[in-house]
Amino acid sequence: MSRVQQVTVLGATGSIGLSTLDVIARHPERYQAFALSGFTRLVELQALCVKHRPRYAVVADAAAGEALQAALQQVGLPTRVLVGEGGLCEVAAHPEVDAVMAAIVGAAGLKPTLAAVEAGKKVLLANKEALVMSGDLFIQAVRRSGAVLLPIDSEHNAIFQCLPGDYARGLGAVGVRRILLTASGGPFRETPLAELEQVSPEQACAHPNWSMGRKISVDSASMMNKGLELIEACWLFDARPSQVEVVIHPQSVIHSLVDYVDGSVLAQLGNPDMRTPIAHALAWPQRIDSGVAPLDLFAVARLDFQRPDEQRFPCLRLARQAAEAGGSAPALLNAANEVAVAAFLERRIRFPEIARIIDEVLNLAPVAAVENLDAVLVADARARVLAGEWLSRHGL
């Protein structure tokens, strides 16, 4: 590789953003942070700018932008501060950018991620919600622009690594029978069902194997994360929902598997550390050091597997339903989930009510065809209104 690759990190202050910057800093001869974005953690963003010296930083609004610009000028940094969704889209699509890490959480990441796709960038996709919401529109934009889409979710990155290079010909054409999507089962895999009514946000965020942001941690506890990943897998690998089977694997060492028609099952293994899929996607098709310790199979000793229990994890059933319904159903599911998870994190609802809210939204909102981005945004807004009505009806 001759030239240093310019990388925009959307969501730099988050868990994936920090892991990305850790990998970038290990390879200064290959990568340079071009732009970093933050939202609420502005002190952290300032420190990241001092360390990585990006050309641009992006924050939510003008007041935050002025404060950060002044602070950076004071320490002699030439970093230019941009604001809002426009700023995010600008650094995602900037002509000098080679790769974009899409690691903003939730629907807020949709437009900047699409901007990177439409500009034909190498897009490292952590923001699964963007693909879940916009599905076919997203994939069509990738095809049109020639963007290179590389999955960062450890499961999809594993599947990508286990598939042959020409999998875009179709799973059937390359001899794939099924995709086996592994799930840890989260912190409540064995909690008595009656106790789930009382669990706290802290318990939900205490994931046994992974250290992640709060929203995805709650999604992992409810297994909505796996549901979103099921939908994501269908779009990334052109699979039908029935071709994706979820397998609980509590050790999180096998990150997913591909089952071929000849009986071969290929798996990708590694320590549960997101720097592995990040390094894989950054360097693809080459390999670079990620800083992750080698896997010690003797310490792992055993690998267990269980079938998921949909009574315990109704969100998984709801996500499969939305995947099968298609159209705007995944966008409705995602938005209802975002509202419900935020309410749970604010201690306004109990954990099992997350699934109840989503269920009600999916029952009330009609599923429509999604022909353009406006249709996605209409579905997203409708689901947020309906979820809000559930909260108001319950005095919340």
Residues that bind ligand NAP (CB under 6 A): 11-17, 38-41, 103-105, 108, 126-129, 152-153, 210, 212-216, 274
Nearer to ligand NAP among residue 81 and residue 274 (C-beta): 274
Shortest CB 274 distance to ligand NAP, Å = 5
Q: Which amino acid is at 185?
A: G
CB of 170 to ligand NAP, least distance (A): 26
> Tokens 């952290």 identify what position?
44
Helix axes 329-345, 224-237, angle to 10 degrees: 150
Task: Answer whether 336's CB lies under 8 Å from 362's CB.
Answer: yes
Region for residue 175 given its phi and psi (left: phi exceeds 0; alpha: psi -120 to 50; beta: otherwise): left
Residue closer to ligand NAP (CB basis): 108 or 149: 108
Q: Are strands 99-102 and 5-10 parallel, antiparallel or unpaired?
A: parallel
What single DSSP character describes residue 151?
Answer: E
8 A C-beta contact, residue 275 and residue 157: no
Q: Nearest approach, Cβ of 365 to ligand NAP (angstroms)?
A: 22
Closest approach of ligand NAP to the CB of residue 244, in Å: 17
Cβ nearer to ligand NAP, comparing 32 with 220:
220
Our CB check for ligand NAP shows the closer of 4 and 377 to be 377
Can you tell me whether residue 324 is helix, strand or coil? helix
Shortest Å distance, C-beta 154 to ligand NAP: 6
CA distance 291 to 27: 11
What is the torsional sign of CA 328, 333, 336, 342?
Answer: negative
- Please identify, using beta-carbon distances, which residue of 104 and 361 lies nearer to ligand NAP: 104
In the complex, least distance from residue 88 CB atom to ligand NAP, rounded to whole angstroms: 7
**Based on CB atoms, which residue is closest to ligand NAP, 109 or 241?**
109
Q: Which C-beta is closer to ligand NAP: that of 210 or that of 284?
A: 210
Listing DSSP states for 214-252 in one string gives HHHHHHHHHTHHHHHHHHHHHHHHT--GGGEEEEE-TT-
C-beta nearest to ligand NAP: residue: 14
144/225 Cα distance (integer angstroms): 29
List, in sequence order, the alpha helices (H) in the chain.
15-26, 42-52, 62-74, 84-93, 110-118, 128-145, 154-162, 201-205, 214-222, 224-237, 275-283, 297-300, 314-325, 329-345, 353-364, 373-393
Q: Which one, of 313, 304, 238, 300, lies nearest residue 270 by Cα? A: 300
Q: Kindly state the smallest distance separating residue 277's Cβ from ligand NAP, in Å.
A: 8
**Are 79 and 55 contacting, i.e. CB atoms less than 8 angstroms apart?**
yes
Q: How many CB atoms lie within 10 A of CB 197?
A: 10
Identity of the residue, 92 or 366, whose beta carbon is nearer to ligand NAP in the bound complex: 92
Nearer to ligand NAP, 16 or 322 (CB): 16
The residue (of 2 and 271) whose beta carbon lies closer to ligand NAP is: 271
Rounded to the nearest whole angstrom, what is the least distance from the CB of residue 380 to ligand NAP in the complex?
13
Q: Which amino acid belongs to residue 25? A: A
CA 112 from chain centre, in angstroms, equals 14
Q: Min. distance of Cβ 56 from ligand NAP in angstroms?
A: 14
Min separation Cβ 173 and ligand NAP, Å: 29
